[in-house]
Amino acid sequence: MGAVVDTLRLTAEDAKGLLERGEVSGAELREAYRGAIAERDGELHCFLRTVDDAGGGGVPIALKDVISTKGVETTAGSKILSGYVPVFDSTVAARVKAAGLPLLGKTNTDEFAMGSSTENSAFGPTRNPWDPERVPGGSGGGSSAAVTAGMTPWALGSDTGGSIKQPSALCGNVGLRPTYGTVSRYGIVAFASSLDQVGPIAKTVRDAALLYSIIAGRDPCDSTTAELPEAVRLPEGDSLEGVRIGVPKELNEAEGIEPGVAEAVGRALALAEELGADVAECSLPRSVRYGMPCYYLIAPAEASSNLARYDGVRYGPRTDGASYQEMVDRTRDDGFGDEPKRRIMLGTYALSAGYYDAFYGQAQRVRTLIIREHREAFERFDVLACPTSPTVAFRIGERAADPLAMYASDLLTIPSCLAGLPGLSIPCGLSEGLPVGLQLIGPQFGENMLFRAGHVLETALAFDTVPERWRS
């Protein structure tokens, strides 16, 4: 007992080994992470609340605050849910609890997971561990920054249009958005129901695969879930022999991709060839051209429907009014921030009489074309590759007043999300001293192939996930 725990470098798999060999106790491991939170979270603000959970003796975990946790406040980063304490666990929270993973706390998020920088949280922004003057990405910036800062060995986030993959890219760690339907959405605060998906954030691909194996699988509480066609495999090996990697021209040459990002991704793809992969160019013209406008009709429309339940009647704070309608209006005006209001109005308009078919209906037809285009690409390739984010982490406040510039942060992650496909972001280098993410996209239920390719590349790239300012 009593081994020194370096939480900045300790992977979840290594922590599991320490526990199994009896080199540390569960209490000592939890205490090490609580110490890291006490040391660093004052600067970074990754956690909205911490929990002293001694209920499991396994590797501790943090959960994004859209994941309902019995007896622990769950706000989705919004004032309209302040003080809401669920009386039940979401399915993913129940599964990590059943696996013996004690909860360290709930992490910060853009309000209702709407954002690309974690600046939209009603409780203040999270900061990037590599440079606290910059954003950690969003909406899951709290989870991603906490993993990089050694405050938790792994975490769960949620991804609608890039909210796991993009912050993982900006913080320099590994993030998986699973195939839609492989992880239950029961007990997740809904944003856009046909897009939302929970997934792991970790230091390594093997850690991400291990956590995915815990949370994935059919759930009778969520009718959209499916059984995995094969068991999750922890990746091994050092060769990409036989792996066909497609490089979509439009996703790698899109407007706004910074030169340093393109160079780092190009080096990673060249390395993939050296490791035995067959790398060739392909094309996804409709997906890139129409992905953003399609997403920003479908997601706000579904958000408009989902967020209609917040009326001050059943839960959350209430602002009184002279009538029922005035009470609801005042509660929503006080409770929702600017970004949810923006998306609610956009979505309500898209669903309104006379516009439904022209906007929401047409977007769904375009989504079908995007699904078909990806399916055709996977007839030739096992994996598609491109940057995760067009840029490295930008400065806090830099895009806050320009929603279109903020939305462009998800340009490269949105198309595969619309298609319901799995995507894995791994760090592939630095640009301007900040992490660059490589996005690997797989076919439906293609997680094992992503884990294999990601693990081999990750090992060969040997990226140091510890921010330079903390390296001894």
Confirm whether 297 is domain-assigned: no
Confirm whether 359 is domain-assigned: no
pTM for the complete prediction? 0.97
Q: pLDDT value at position 2?
A: 59
CATH value at residue 147: 3.90.1300.10
Please choose, from the candidates 162, 188, 225, 192, the residue with its C-alpha nearest in 3D space to the C-alpha of residue 306: 192
Instruction: Say which residues have a Cβ less than 8 Å from residue 98's Cβ, sequence separation at least 6.
Output: none
User: Which active-site residues does the annotation give?
Assistant: 64, 139, 163
Q: pLDDT value at position 79?
A: 97
329 CB-contact burial (10 Å; exposed 0-12 / middle 13-18 / buried 19+): middle
Strands 103-107 and 434-441: unpaired
Q: pLDDT value at position 316?
A: 86
Confirm whether 291 is domain-assigned: no
Confirm whether 341 is domain-assigned: no
Q: pLDDT value at position 314?
A: 86
Spatial distance between the Cα atoms of 188 and 89, rounded to a whole number of angstroms: 10
pLDDT in tens, the chain (472 residues): 557 799 999 999 999 999 999 999 999 999 999 999 999 999 999 999 999 887 789 999 999 999 999 999 999 999 999 999 999 999 999 999 999 999 999 999 999 999 999 999 999 999 999 999 999 999 999 999 999 999 999 999 999 999 999 999 999 999 999 999 999 999 999 999 999 999 999 999 999 999 999 999 999 999 999 999 999 999 999 999 999 999 999 999 999 999 999 999 999 999 999 999 999 999 999 999 999 999 999 999 999 999 999 999 988 899 999 999 999 999 999 999 999 999 999 999 999 988 999 999 999 999 999 999 999 999 999 999 999 999 999 999 999 889 889 999 999 999 999 999 999 999 999 999 999 999 999 999 999 999 999 999 999 999 999 999 999 7
Confirm whether 304 is domain-assigned: no
User: Residue 429 is encoded by which pair of tokens?
Assistant: 């280098």
Q: What range defines the domain where residue 85 resides? A: 12-286+367-467
Confirm whether 70 is domain-assigned: yes
With b meaning 16 or more CB within 10 Å and e meaning fewer, what string describes 82-106?
eebebeebbbbbbbbbebebbbbbb
Domain count, the chain: 1
Q: pLDDT value at position 124?
A: 98
Confirm whether 403 is domain-assigned: yes
Confirm whether 413 is domain-assigned: yes
CB atoms within 10 A of CB 123: 18
Q: pLDDT value at position 42?
A: 98
